[in-house]
Amino acid sequence: MDKLIAGVNVSVNEEGYMTDSSQWTKEVAAAIAAEEGIELTDKHYELIEFVRNKVANGETLTIRGIGKSGVVSAKEFYGLFPGAPLKKATKISGVPKPTSCI
């Protein structure tokens, strides 16, 4: 289904995750983040780029893996995306929800 995000029709699934990551832009990310109550900073965008690259390379995302990424610690990750960091980070990054997330 399509959803209007930041003035762009974006394909999303029933949970609001983008189904076509090529539609992702910084503006779309900022709009999704705002829906999640997050205002994106340079650190957020640095982590988003890391997440998008990992997924593009077919790698599995985990909170532990992100904590060991050198981009942020696990504690910082929870601070940037409070509540459900991996779900929120992937949603804002325009990539599918990790299978490890319920």
Mean pLDDT of 18-36: 96
What pLDDT score does 97 carry? 85
* Given 18, 31, 101, 102, the catalytic residue: 101
Q: Does the pTM of the predicted model rise above 0.75?
A: yes
Residue (of 53, 33, 51, 52) closest to 41 by Cα position: 33
Map tokens 């779900």 to a residue. Answer: 87
Please choose, from the candidates 76, 28, 34, 74, the residue with its C-alpha nearest in 3D space to the C-alpha of residue 52.
Answer: 28
The yes-or-no verdict on residue 100 having pLDDT over 70 is no
Query: Does 1 score more than 70 pLDDT?
Result: yes
Q: Among residues of the chain, what percentage have pLDDT more than 70?
A: 97
The average confidence (pLDDT) of the chain is 94
User: Catalytic residue at 78?
Assistant: no
The tens digit of pLDDT for each residue in 62-99 reads: 999 999 999 999 999 999 999 999 999 999 999 998 87
pLDDT-based confidence at residue 101 (cuts at 50, 70, 90): low
Q: Evaluate whether 92 touches 21 at the Cβ level (below 8 Å).
A: no
Query: What's the CA gap between 5 and 44, in Å, rounded?
Result: 19
Nearest to 16 by CA among 50, 62, 26, 31: 31
